[in-house]
Amino acid sequence: MEKEIPEPGPFEALCSPVAVLPCTSDVHSAHFRNAWPNRILGHEGVGRVEKVGAMVTDIHVGDIVAVPAVTPIWRGRQIAEGLHEHTGGFLGGRYLSSKLDGTFGEYFIIPDADMNLAVVPNGVSIKAAGLVGDMVTTGFSGVEGANIQFGDTVVVIGIGPVGLMSVAGAAIRGAGRLIAVGHRELTKELAKKYGATDVVDYKDGDIVAQIMELTNNEKVDRVIIAGGTESTINDAYRMVKCGGNISNVAGYDFSKEFHLTVADAGCLVNHVTLTGRLCAGGRYRLENLMALIKNGRLDPTLLITHELHGFDKIEDGFRMMDERKTPDTIKPIVII
Ligand code: NDP
Ligand code: ZN
């Protein structure tokens, strides 16, 4: 669609896309949500700063910047509460492709540019920078919710790009035994590269039984959910020990329901902590994640299975994510 080039407000930046990555969430938005009609999709990528508002001080025209999926205005009550992801209400920190047009346009606005954009440092590739704003930060948010202690047995359920980054993050956080649950050969291989000690295939039967066999019936310390179905939460409760953690970052279809039985949930007196998070956003977060990459602790680029070139290939990239016709698609990138 054709739109006017937007004018940045005092604290905003106007960017053009350098590279964009289609996401599972773009597919969900396109299929299930029409709360924002005629909205341009896209919330992942790297941009070039084209214009800045009068109050922007740290970001300059020409900067190449990593774009976070969550770009709140860093003012207001939820910021004071430490909940930047949900400023102004549920999902409120997500502006791109909802309250504002997203990264799949020739130009896009970033609110609160000094607080949200992270200049890509030397030693971090465009591809790696494109992955930090959602895939890395979401996978790592799952890890943060799981309260991992050194040597813990950690299970990551779902090893698409997000879950693979949870595997990588759990390894960095000191997991002992690290069990990844997936199906496709490519993702299982990558899980091992990112630090999984064991891999379980959810198509080989009940994953709880498979994991209990691996651990000699000992329940696990932490479970991160980054894929699966509405009943994966039940599996997580059935495999986690008393006092353990379940941390969800997977998205679900709003029309579905969870059916948590009292028995599976340990009567809710088992001291298990269940939490769920939207990916952390903003400049500080992305600068820290890029420090891990720059210093050789993390290489997210193994996630990129397809590289397309040119603005007019964004739709092809989106269709790749949507249709997943090939078993070898993890994450496409479109270099503009
Ligand atoms: P993918 O669809 O690429 O990955 C999901 C993975 O789950 C796949 O690898 C799939 O394995 C696996 N899976 C499917 N069914 C099962 C099952 N029954 N048991 C175990 N694993 C299963 O998605 P992404 O990695 O891109 O994203 C993961 C989730 O995170 C999505 O739900 C997405 O919406 C959500 N998300 C949440 C964000 C947040 O802020 N909280 C931000 C971004 C994404 P296989 O392919 O081998 O079949
Ligand atoms: Zn995304």
Q: Are residues 144 and 266 in the same domain?
A: yes
Beta bridge partners of 100: 96
Any domain includes 288: yes
Q: Are residues 264 and 299 in the same domain?
A: no
Question: Can you give the CATH number for the domain in which 267 is found?
Answer: 3.40.50.720
Mean pLDDT over residues 307-332, rounded? 91
What's the gap in Å between 140 CA and the centre of ligand 1? Answer: 14
Q: Is pLDDT of 292 > 90?
A: yes
The pLDDT of residue 30 is 84
Q: Is pLDDT of 18 > 90?
A: yes
Q: Are residues 253 and 304 in the same domain?
A: no
Ligand 1 atom at shortest distance from the alpha carbon of 277: 41
Alpha-helical (H) ranges within 242-327 are 283-294, 314-323
Q: Are residues 270 and 289 in the same domain?
A: no
7-11, 250-254, 284-288, 312-316: the lowest-pLDDT one: 250-254
Ligand 1 atom at shortest distance from the alpha carbon of 142: 41
Looking at residue 200, its amino acid is V
Domain ranges, residue 229: 138-276
CA 288, CA 313: separation in Å to the nearest integer?
Answer: 31
- pTM check: above 0.95: yes
Residue 251 CB less than 6 A away from ligand 1: yes
Per-residue 3-state assignment (H helix, E strand, C coil) for 95-142:
CECCCECCCCCCCEEECCHHHHCEECCCCCCHHHHHHHHHHHHHHHHH
Ligand 1 atom at shortest distance from the alpha carbon of 252: 32
Residue 134 CB less than 6 A away from ligand 1: yes
What's the gap in Å between 239 CA and the centre of ligand 2? Answer: 29
Any domain includes 24: yes
Residue 175 CB less than 6 A away from ligand 1: no
Provide the CB-side half-sphere exposure for 45 (13 A, CA): 34
Banded model confidence at residue 133, pLDDT cuts 50, 70, 90: very high
Q: Are residues 173 and 291 in the same domain?
A: no
The pLDDT of residue 34 is 62
Residue 159 CB less than 6 A away from ligand 1: yes
Two structure tokens written together for 109 = 């606005």
Residue 25 CB less than 6 A away from ligand 1: yes
Q: Give CA separation, 19 vs 29, 45, 100, in Å.
A: 20, 5, 18
Mean pLDDT over residues 275-304, rounded? 98
What's the gap in Å between 157 CA and the centre of ligand 1? Answer: 8
Any domain includes 306: yes
The pLDDT of residue 312 is 96
The residue whose CA has the least distance to atom 15 of ligand 1 is 228
- Look at residues 228, 246, 276 and tell me which one is the last residue of a structural domain: 276
By C-alpha distance, which of 58, 17, 75, 44 is closest to 162?
Answer: 44
Two structure tokens written together for 152 = 């813990």
The pLDDT of residue 253 is 85
- Provide the 10 A C-beta neighbour count for residue 36: 15
- Look at residues 241, 256, 276 and tell me which one is the last residue of a structural domain: 276
What's the gap in Å between 133 CA and the centre of ligand 2? Answer: 8
CA 152, CA 68: separation in Å to the nearest integer?
Answer: 30
Q: Are residues 198 and 123 in the same domain?
A: no
State how many domains the chain has.
2
What's the gap in Å between 21 CA and the centre of ligand 2? Answer: 8
By C-alpha distance, which of 99, 178, 164, 170 is closest to 134?
Answer: 164
Mean pLDDT over residues 214-224, rounded? 98
Q: Are residues 87 and 208 in the same domain?
A: no
| Portion of the chain with pLDDT greater than 90, in percent | 90
Mean pLDDT over residues 225-234, rounded? 97
23-32, 82-91, 277-286, 327-336: the lowest-pLDDT one: 23-32
Any domain includes 217: yes
239-243, 253-257, 278-282, 299-303: the lowest-pLDDT one: 253-257
Q: Are residues 229 and 264 in the same domain?
A: yes
Mean pLDDT, the chain, integer: 96
- What are the tens digits of pLDDT across the range 161-208? 999 999 999 999 999 999 999 999 999 999 999 999 999 999 999 999
- Number of residues assigned to the chain: 336
Residue 305 CB less than 6 A away from ligand 1: no
Mean pLDDT over residues 222-244, rounded? 97
Q: Is pLDDT of 264 > 80?
A: yes
Q: Are residues 59 and 171 in the same domain?
A: no
CA 146, CA 163: separation in Å to the nearest integer?
Answer: 13
Any domain includes 2: no
The angle subtended at Cα 279 by Cα 274 and Cα 281, nearest 5°, is: 140
CA 84, CA 70: separation in Å to the nearest integer?
Answer: 8
Any domain includes 3: no
Any domain includes 6: no
Q: Are residues 309 and 242 in the same domain?
A: no
For residues 267 and 242, is the Cβ–Cβ distance under 8 A?
A: no
Mean pLDDT over residues 205-219, rounded? 98
- What are the tens digits of pLDDT across the range 26-66? 988 888 766 678 899 999 999 999 999 999 999 999 999 99
The residue whose CA has the least distance to atom 35 of ligand 1 is 250
Q: Are residues 193 and 110 in the same domain?
A: no
Question: Can you give the CATH number for the domain in which 308 is found?
Answer: 3.90.180.10
CA 258, CA 303: separation in Å to the nearest integer?
Answer: 30
- Look at residues 276, 307, 325 and tell me which one is the last residue of a structural domain: 276
The pLDDT of residue 151 is 98
Any domain includes 7: no
Q: Are residues 296 and 256 in the same domain?
A: no
